[in-house]
Amino acid sequence: MIEPYLFFDGCCEEAIEYYVKHLGAEVEMMMRYKDCPDPLPPGMDSEDNADKVMHVTFRIGGSKVMASDGGCGIGDEKVHFAGFSLSLGLPTEEEAHRTFDILAKEGEVQMPLGKTFWSPCFGIVTDRFGLEWMISVVPAE
């Protein structure tokens, strides 16, 4: 089993709230840095990080996704999503268009929704958090 783990670099809670509201995500568990029972590494134990998300597990549809604020901007470079997309299969074109439009509202369309040889409706969009989504209609079996 492969489960994606996403690092939002300081905006994890905002992203999760967005996915709950717009994608129907369901949070299974969330832990903040201040709730960690073990001592945190130097630099991660600051007051600025106390309320940041250390770990969250949530579901979108039947899939589990995990996430964190990661290093909370500590270090020379921020974490960026690159080299992968999350693929979200939806049962109807109406749902695909609604979801795609929501993600594109403050994001960027990479490939507009359209008919392909494998799906009646497929498109690629990067959401406002920089996460790329492949939205498609999955024909009923």
pLDDT, tens digit, 9 for 90 and up, residues 40-60 = 766 666 677 788 899 999 999
Question: Residue 137 has what pLDDT?
Answer: 96
Question: Residue 76 has what pLDDT?
Answer: 42
CA dist., res. 75 & res. 69, Å (int): 13
Q: Which helix (H) or strand (E) holds 86?
A: strand 86-90
CA dist., res. 18 & res. 47, Å (int): 25
Statement: the pTM of the whole predicted model exceeds 0.85 = yes
Instruction: Give the chain's residues under pLDDT 70.
Output: 41-46, 71-80, 141
Question: Residue 127 has what pLDDT?
Answer: 95
Question: Residue 75 has what pLDDT?
Answer: 44
Question: Residue 74 has what pLDDT?
Answer: 46
